[in-house]
Amino acid sequence: MSIANAASKIIVVIGAGPGTGYSVAKRFAQAGHPVALLSRTEERVTSLANQINQLSGKGTAGTTGTARGYAVDATDESSVRDAYARIQRDFPGAAVWGGVFNANGFVRAPLLDTTVAQLKELLDVAVVGALIFAQSHLDAVKRAPLWNDKGGDGERHETKGFLAFTGATASLKGSANFAAFGAAKAALRSLAQSTAREYAPQGVHVLHTIVDGIIDTESTRQRFKNLQSTFMSPDAIAEAYYAAAAQPPSCWTLEVDLRPYDEKF
């Protein structure tokens, strides 16, 4: 499956690091979408956008959409909303359509060693940041021409917008030593479900992805040298996001589990 009129549909990825975020942006760009990569570090996100642009003509679809990087604080509402305004200006002739929330924090500590500050920081990124992103994204989607477009029979004929949230195993269960991380991921999952139940009837496909495993990046290769055979390919993860985004309104996935073949669950 593919997404119709890709060149007119901007994809925004926040938390665009060198793993999943980059691969998701690259996959949509290969299908012809303009992509905006958002991250706290301007130098890094600009470099990732440039890497995608250098792949022009080498994607599976034969074309690559234009990529741009934006320095953004995911927990700052004005920062995110300003980025969306700039994105719309920077991609004339296209409108915001897809969004992927990939911002993340991590704490592993025994319960009695977990600080209130650590919990608040994780909630600020995973929950407050997700709310800010969802609100900013949906506001932009509702201003797009596609929002009020109907098919010849007056029925919805294509997805009006796409919004994905990256979760983890902790979204479903709270493991020992992961009290803060589990609380944040469980809250993110609930936010995604609430958003889906409100906006699916309006034509927005909301997806929550449970990524259950170690993602293959340069840093994880250094940290887990004896586990590399079971690492999750970020490109394979990105393929799952794209496949979900391409689903027709008659058959949407709300939640998908992704894990290596030998991961216990």
- In the chain the domains, ranked by start, together with CATH numbers, are 8-258 (3.40.50.720)
- Using a pLDDT cut of 90, give the percent of the chain over it: 79
- Give Cα separations from 171 to 36, 79, 199 (angstroms): 27, 27, 21
pLDDT digits (tens, 9 = 90+) for 214-265: 888 777 777 776 766 688 999 999 999 999 999 999 999 999 999 998 888 8
pLDDT at 191 over 80: yes
Distance (Å, whole) CA 41 – CA 34: 20
Helix (H) or strand (E) holding 80: helix 77-90
Distance (Å, whole) CA 34 – CA 32: 7
* Nearest CA-CA partner of 35 in 59, 64, 77, 55: 64
- The band of 156, judged by pLDDT with boundaries at 50, 70 and 90, is low
- The band of 62, judged by pLDDT with boundaries at 50, 70 and 90, is very low
Q: Which carries the bigger pLDDT value, residue 102 or residue 213? A: 102
143 phi/psi in degrees, rounded to 5? -95, -5
